Amino acid sequence: MAIILTESEAKALCQKVLSYSKADECEVNILGEERGNLRYARNEVSTSGALINQNLQVQSAFGKKVGVATIDEFSEESFEKVVRRSEELARLAPENPEYVGVLEPQTYLKSNGFFESTAGINPDYRAGAVLKSLDLTRSQNMTAAGFLENQKGYSAMMNSKGLFAYYPSTSVNFSLTVRTPDGKGSGYVAKGYSDVNKLDTAAATKTAIQKSKGSVDAKALEPGKYTVILEPTAAAVLLENIFFNFDARSADEGRSFLSKAGGKSKLNEKIVDERVHIYSDPTHPDLPSSPWSGDGQAANKINWIENGVIKNLVYSRYWAQKNNVKPVPFPTNVIMAGGTASMEELIKSTQRGILVTKLWYIREVDPQTLLLTGLTRDGTFFIENGVIKHPIKNFRFNESPVIMLNNLETLGKPERVVSTETNSNYLIPPMKIREFTFSSLSDAV
């Protein structure tokens, strides 16, 4: 059997598995994926690898007693065994008070996240793409360390109420750090796509080389509050800490940045600048994602923050039922709307500020305020009177993305970025922020 099943193959397989069920309710989840990667450092290939993964999970329920069993080898005899095993576990399990039963069939949006171009990536493609990058760094006497990883796969689910969902997808992520031979300059680039035809490793490498050369001989600025222009790669790693904390239950329980005095959540309150619009849309052509969430709920277009107001929170089906509201699944993608300003325009309109191209080692300092710490890395520049004056030494910052989005000056045009912390892809605009707090200097290059 192939690893990547078509929709009809997946459907037939799910039906076969479900046909063995004797439980009150049954749900089948399957996935298959193939991954490949090539890693290089010091201008030479260091490691390469490939991974094939498939998995079938059966959840059976008798009343509120639930059991889950899994297999990774697909064979006729294993399908019945895994169903029996999940039923056996369900009978032994204590009642799960938060079990709300399987979902009725849903209607899903159409989203195209599978590209034949990416699905066809082979080791030769990876070697060729990396060679294009290495040729440039070697010929310019720069030192490259990079990573190229591609993935194709699908996931599908079916339950005893007749729900069926299927979603195939592909992705390719490329990241590269280019250092000057004396170690005084460093530049970075990361690109993520669903369609590999959009990936140009040579063009990306030129960006990293340019940043690396431009960051040599950085000067120290005093730590303090500065106007900053965050490139989307830098903004993403701060903003995703907001995305991860959209959970209604934590907010209602009083342990989230969205909790407030008196025991209520901040739902429907303005929490950031009114120009901030953060939403999810699985059908967005630049960031296609699954039209269904892990539990089978339809992942529809939804606003999280609109006009600066927190409009929706994630409600698990259990928490929604308990609070008598509609469930809201966890998003399958996150997009921040932007403006029209180009990077050049953002810089040109800045009298005194700092251009941040990448942030590193972001950690939450205080969950109450989402205060984060981390450092600038691989190219930080001083802007004066609308032009980049010179590279500056890296800073440590202590800042909350909530405070940051209240200090918003201008938004640029969103672009697809790869989080350097979590590898997640987002659409994020470059942004100009006033009074961003840098707390100390770092000697790191």
Partner 1 sequence: MQMSGLGLGAMMLPEVPVIGNPVREEQLLNPWLDAASKKKLAETALNAARDKGATYTDVRIGRYLQQYLFTREKQVQNIVNAESYGIGIRVIANGTWGFSATSDVTPDGIAKCAATAVAIAKANSKFQKEPVVLAPQKGVGDKAWKTPLTKNAFEIPVRDKIDLLMKVNGAAMDNGASFVTSNLFFVNEQKYFASTDGSFIDQDVHRIWPTFTVTVTDKASGKFKTRDAISSPMGMGYEYLDGLAAEKIAGPNGLVGYRNSYDMVEDAIAAAKQAKEKVTAKTVLPGKYDLVLDPNHLGLTIHESVGHPTELDRVLGYEANYAGTSFATLDKWKTKNFNYGSKLVNIVADKTRAHTLGAVGYDDEGVPCKEWDIIRDGILVNYQAIRDQVQILGEKESHGCCYADDWSSVQFQRMPNISLKPATEKRSVLDMIKGVEKGIYIIGRGSYSIDQQRYNFQFGGQVFYEIKNGEIAGMLDDVAYQSNTQEFWNSCVQLCDKDDYRTFGSFFDGKGQPAQISAVSHGSSTTRFNGVNVINTGRKI
Residues 364-383 that bind partner 1 (CB under 8 A): 364-371, 373-375, 377
Rounded to the nearest 5 degrees, what angle is found at the Cα of 289, between the Cα atoms of 287 and 291?
140
Whether the Cβ atoms of residue 330 and residue 304 lie closer than 8 Å to each other = no
What is the smallest separation between the CB atom of 147 and partner 1, expressed in angstroms?
4
* Nearer to partner 1 among residue 374 and residue 412 (C-beta): 374
What is the smallest separation between the CB atom of 177 and partner 1, expressed in angstroms?
4
Six token digits for residue 38: 């090539």
> Under the criterion CB under 8 A, does residue 445 sit at the interface with partner 1?
yes
What is the smallest separation between the CB atom of 179 and partner 1, expressed in angstroms?
6
* Nearer to partner 1 among residue 263 and residue 324 (C-beta): 263
Give the three-state DSSP class for 299: coil
What is the smallest separation between the CB atom of 342 and partner 1, expressed in angstroms?
28
> 406 to 425, contacts with partner 1 by CB under 8 A?
421-422, 424
Whether the Cβ atoms of residue 99 and residue 61 lie closer than 8 Å to each other = yes
> 134 to 163, contacts with partner 1 by CB under 8 A?
134, 143, 145-147, 149
> 66 to 125, contacts with partner 1 by CB under 8 A?
68-72, 85, 94, 96-98, 123
Identified binder of partner 1 from the candidate list 169, 259, 297, 300, rule CB under 8 A: 259
* Nearer to partner 1 among residue 105 and residue 123 (C-beta): 123
Number of residues that bind partner 1 (CB under 8 A): 92
What is the smallest separation between the CB atom of 42 and partner 1, expressed in angstroms?
5
> Under the criterion CB under 8 A, does residue 431 sit at the interface with partner 1?
no
Give the three-state DSSP class for 360: strand
What is the smallest separation between the CB atom of 149 and partner 1, expressed in angstroms?
7
**In angstroms, rounded to a whole number, what is the distance separating the alpha carbons of residues 172 and 422?**
15
Which residue, among 301, 306, 304, 295, has the nearest Cα to 282 in the 3D structure? 301
Which residue, among 338, 269, 276, 278, has the nearest Cα to 309 in the 3D structure? 269
Binding segment (CB under 8 A) for partner 1, from list 112-120, 175-183, 226-234, 382-390: 175-183
> 207 to 226, contacts with partner 1 by CB under 8 A?
none
> 14 to 73, contacts with partner 1 by CB under 8 A?
37, 39-42, 44-49, 51, 55, 68-72
* Nearer to partner 1 among residue 336 and residue 445 (C-beta): 445
> 223 to 242, contacts with partner 1 by CB under 8 A?
240
Query: Token match 């591609």: residue?
Result: 150
**In angstroms, rounded to a whole number, what is the distance separating the alpha carbons of residues 49 and 340?**
41
What is the smallest separation between the CB atom of 386 and partner 1, expressed in angstroms?
30
What is the smallest separation between the CB atom of 241 and partner 1, expressed in angstroms?
8
> 177 to 206, contacts with partner 1 by CB under 8 A?
177, 179, 183, 186
Identified binder of partner 1 from the candidate list 125, 246, 292, 382, rule CB under 8 A: 246
Element (H, E) at 68: strand 65-71
Identified binder of partner 1 from the candidate list 396, 431, 433, 436, rule CB under 8 A: 396
Residue type, 160: S
**In angstroms, rounded to a whole number, what is the distance separating the alpha carbons of residues 105 and 80?**
24
Six token digits for residue 360: 């590193």
Whether the Cβ atoms of residue 237 and residue 421 lie closer than 8 Å to each other = yes
What is the smallest separation between the CB atom of 96 and partner 1, expressed in angstroms?
8
Identified binder of partner 1 from the candidate list 1, 263, 324, 385, rule CB under 8 A: 263
Please report, for residues 26, 58, 291, 376, 419, the alpha-carbon distance to residue 106 in angstroms, rounded to integers and kept in the order given: 16, 20, 11, 44, 31
Count, residues in the chain: 445
Which residue, among 409, 346, 423, 386, has the nearest Cα to 191 in the 3D structure? 423
Binding segment (CB under 8 A) for partner 1, from list 199-207, 328-336, 346-354, 410-418: 328-336
Identified binder of partner 1 from the candidate list 192, 282, 288, 331, rule CB under 8 A: 331
Binding segment (CB under 8 A) for partner 1, from list 113-121, 209-217, 251-259, 345-353: 251-259
44 Cβ contact list (under 8 Å, min separation 6): none
**In angstroms, rounded to a whole number, what is the distance separating the alpha carbons of residues 341 and 335?**
17
Strand partners, 66: 61
Query: Token match 């369900």: residue?
Result: 90
Whether the Cβ atoms of residue 430 and residue 235 lie closer than 8 Å to each other = yes
- The burial class, CB within 10 Å (0-12 / 13-18 / 19+), for 181 is exposed
Identified binder of partner 1 from the candidate list 128, 224, 285, 294, rule CB under 8 A: 294
* Nearer to partner 1 among residue 225 and residue 255 (C-beta): 255
